[in-house]
Structure 1
Amino acid sequence: MKLIPALLAAAGTLALTVSAHAQEADIRKALAERIPQMDKIDEVRPTPMKGLFEVRIGTDLFYTDAKGNYVIQGELIDTKARRNLTEDRIAKLTAVDFAALPLKDAFTIVRGDGKRKVAVFEDPNCGYCKRFERDMQNVDNVTVYLFLYPILSPDSAEKSRNIWCSKDRVAAWQDMMIRDKAVPAASCDTSALQRNLAFGRQYKITGTPTLIFANGTRVPGAIGAAEVEKRLAEASTDTASAR
């Protein structure tokens, strides 16, 4: 007789699944009809808040009710857990597999034993990048994979070319970013810079500096040495536990 409860439970699960799919379809249809910009929704899923659904378009998040009658653009906060659920979700969506980084298109800056790793996308005309580079002088035992990412101006592309084509890329980079010295004009194959731009578009890297740590965590914007140390420690712990 145990078969009957099992069948009832399975039927209940199936009904919930069908209902969830129907609800998602209703939301997609309503929003596409009423807001043309939302005609290509990547994902609809329930949030921890009853009756509220997350609508994802790329890495942009919106919230709506079960009928798609209202749309909220903002942050969802779990006050009990004291967590920003929107930030947590975006962090997962924008995480980059460190192993997927095209490291051949970067140059490396090694300090100390170089055991800890971080990749950074930077524009030579970025003032925040210059501040970040000065702060990074206080971080030891790290390998920095520096991706030149000229997005601010045509001059950024020229400066990136001169750095990439220098005999000593690290020295040229530090001359420009730390010592405010001009880098002599140089020329070479700069297809790596174009690949960096394509990679950034794919992963929606829209500002500099953007940091990617070994555990896939992405941090947009300049952070100080103490925060870099904290993130490197977290990445080392996550990487070790994943083995």
Structure 2
Amino acid sequence: MLVKTLSAFLLSLLAIGCSANANEAEIRKAVEAKLGIKVESVTRSGYFGLYEIYADGNLFYTDDKVTAMLIGGDVIRSPHAMNLIDLKNNRNVTDERLRQLTAIKFSDLPLEQAIKQVKGDGKRVLATFEDPNCGYCKRLAKDLQKLENVTIYTFLLPILSEDSLKKSRQIWCSADRLKAWNDWILDGKTPGGRDNCDTTAITRNQEYARRLNITGTPTLFFADGERVPGAVPLNVLEQKLKQQK
């Protein structure tokens, strides 16, 4: 929604500007007035004299006169969006900043709404939001099984279809939720049994995901609160987990 709004206003912004010595407060005011959005932060990007604007879970960039914008987009939800790249150090600045700005406190996760799996001593922790019909989730599941000494919290997040919701409810209503989840996600054994128990946890997962702008599965959260989208390879999982104290 925001990207479409920015595109519509882009040409008009080329002709309308602030004073040449605009500061962050003036830029915030101008962007909010022109785009009708609430700006969370305005920061010098350190590149090309541009200012970084963070609003509605998205990053984009403007000059001090707000005459044009570089739409960074949300790389978490739109990995092919335009981004600001530091070519000297081969760094995706937009990606790094969004990971920082969208990080959470792991302790704030509603872990009682997740399926808990403890492997080994369980000292390392990882949370995933997954749709049972998500192909990438099934790929991730195979690598998760190879991890040792980790506690995995799986939040059922049916977003793909009504069948996803039905399967999520059946898994949650199972006497052994972890077994029902692994039977399905690893072995393709369709969950059976009832789906009419108290499944408010799934509804709360959906509401929580909306608040965090989680629109794709799998989405992972590590102990430091960093959000990582997609089926992360095993070596990356191990690298991230090894950083946990």
TM-score of the two chains, using structure 2 as the length reference = 0.82
Q: How many angstroms does 1:112 deviate by?
A: 1.6
Secondary structure (helix, strand or coil) at the match of 1:132 reads: helix
Once residues 32 and 93 of structure 1 are traced to their aligned partners in structure 2, the CA distance between those partners, rounded to angstroms, is 19
Question: Which structure dedicates a bigger proportion of its chain to helix?
Answer: 1
CA contact (8 A) 2:37 2:55 kept: no
| Alignment partner of 1:219 is 2:228 | yes
Once residues 106 and 88 of structure 1 are traced to their aligned partners in structure 2, the CA distance between those partners, rounded to angstroms, is 28
| Alignment partner of 1:78 is 2:78 | no
| Residue of structure 2 in register with 1:173 after alignment | 181
CA contact (8 A) 2:184 2:190 kept: yes
| Alignment partner of 1:201 is 2:214 | no
Once residues 136 and 233 of structure 1 are traced to their aligned partners in structure 2, the CA distance between those partners, rounded to angstroms, is 14
CA contact (8 A) 2:22 2:64 kept: no
Task: In structure 1, list runs of 5 or more residues that go unmatched.
Answer: 1-18
Q: Which consecutive aligned stretches of 4+ in structure 1 deviate over 6 angstroms post-superposition?
A: none
| Alignment partner of 1:150 is 2:148 | no
Radius of gyration: which is bigger? 1
Secondary structure (helix, strand or coil) at the match of 2:42 reads: strand
| Residue of structure 2 in register with 1:161 after alignment | 169
Task: In structure 2, list runs of 5 or more residues that go unmatched.
Answer: 1-18, 72-81
Once residues 131 and 154 of structure 2 are traced to their aligned partners in structure 1, the CA distance between those partners, rounded to angstroms, is 10
Q: How many angstroms does 1:33 deviate by?
A: 5.0
State which of 48, 51, 64 in structure 1 corresponds to 2:49.
51
Amino acid at match of 1:206: T
Q: How many angstroms does 1:179 deviate by?
A: 0.8
Amino acid at match of 2:233: G
CA contact (8 A) 2:52 2:62 kept: yes
Alignment identity in percent? Answer: 48
Q: How many angstroms does 1:224 deviate by?
A: 2.0
TM-score of the two chains, using structure 1 as the length reference = 0.83
| Residue of structure 2 in register with 1:108 after alignment | 116
| Residue of structure 2 in register with 1:7 after alignment | none
CA contact (8 A) 1:55 1:61 kept: yes
Q: How many angstroms does 1:40 deviate by?
A: 2.5
